[in-house]
Amino acid sequence: MRISFCCPSMESQPWLEGLRAALPQAEVAPWASGAAPADYALVWAPPQQFFDEQPQLKAAFNIGAGVDALLPLRVPSKTVLARLEDAGMAVQMAEYVCHALIRHFREFDAYAEQMSLGQWQARAPHMRADWPVGIMGLGVLGKRVAKAVAAFEFPVLGWSRSQHAIEGVRCYAGQAQLDDFLSACKVLVCLLPLTPDTRDILNQRNLSRLQPGGYVINVARGAHVVDDDLLALLDSGHLAGATLDVFHTEPLPDAHPFWRHPKITLTPHISARTLRQETIAQIAAKILAFEHGQALSGIVDLQRGY
């Protein structure tokens, strides 16, 4: 069995060593043009040339939950594509979203400013019942985030392309129920995959439907947001603020207005990092399952975009 590693932006050696330890029976090597045919591959933003030169691949495993970098590529029809399922990312995402939510709900930024001025003053508390939190995207990560938010006793709503039933979450589905979902939300968390249907979904029309004083948390992809629309709604006061971890261009350009906006909190795409050992263990288990003719979970449908 031969495994190819094609992740141009990552340091390959720790991954190669980990894969060799997890699958000692396999030959594991970094991909370079002209490399020998492989049975399996680990990929992250691979070039088209990789798939052109490896048409015999049985399966390629995306090192991450988002597969938008694969959508423009021509993947051999017989190659199965699989994405990561959790691998340590779900709990990180839940931490991040809950931190951003509670930081805003409890007004900790305002307290930090007061303390810097030497002011000792309690602020009037908010009622959780008045702060329904909507989760857009109810995959593995979205469900984990919804569960974590519900543990803090916020009302939780969920929206996705297909219908879900999640205990403690009021679920909406499809375009027909999107407006009802948005108008019921005070806080909106985006965890959607990036597809042609979801690109620019956080736009003037949709964000305007959030309750007045709404708050946006985007931990999915920067291309979900129409930047100018978000800025206009923040400046008008309809939105009280936003926490953004992902952007159209990364790193965020120095001149981008997000850097200087007082209602925006930024982080450098760190809401859920790929954990190498957990990822290797998951992919190694899937390769062995595939070798034994077992069905794989996390299969990517390129037509749907996730």
Provide the b/e sequence for 79-99 (b: ≥16 CB within 10 Å): bbbbbbebbbbbebbbebbbe
Say if CB 98 and CB 152 are below 8 A apart: yes
Q: Which of 83, 209, 221, 224 is catalytic?
A: 221
**Token code pair at residue 173:** 């589905």
Q: Give the separation between CA 15 and CA 281, rounded to whole angstroms.
A: 11
Q: Give the separation between CA 138 and CA 159, rounded to whole angstroms.
A: 7
**Token code pair at residue 172:** 């909406």
Q: Which of 248, 269, 276, 292 is catalytic?
A: 269
Say if CB 28 and CB 14 are below 8 A apart: no
Q: Give the separation between CA 299 and CA 291, rounded to whole angstroms.
A: 16
**Token code pair at residue 158:** 């969920």
* Exposed / middle / buried, residue 23 (Cβ in 10 Å: 0-12, 13-18, 19+): buried
269 is catalytic: yes
Nearest to 174 by CA among 160, 184, 195, 156: 160
221 is catalytic: yes
The separation between the first and the last C-alpha atoms of the chain, rounded to the nearest angstrom, is: 27
* Residue 240 phi, psi (nearest 5): -85, -20
- In sequence order, what are the residues at sequence separation of 6 or more whose Cβ sits closer than 8 angstroms to the Cβ of residue 188? 133, 134, 136, 182, 202, 207, 210, 214, 215, 216, 217
The catalytic site residues sit at 221, 269
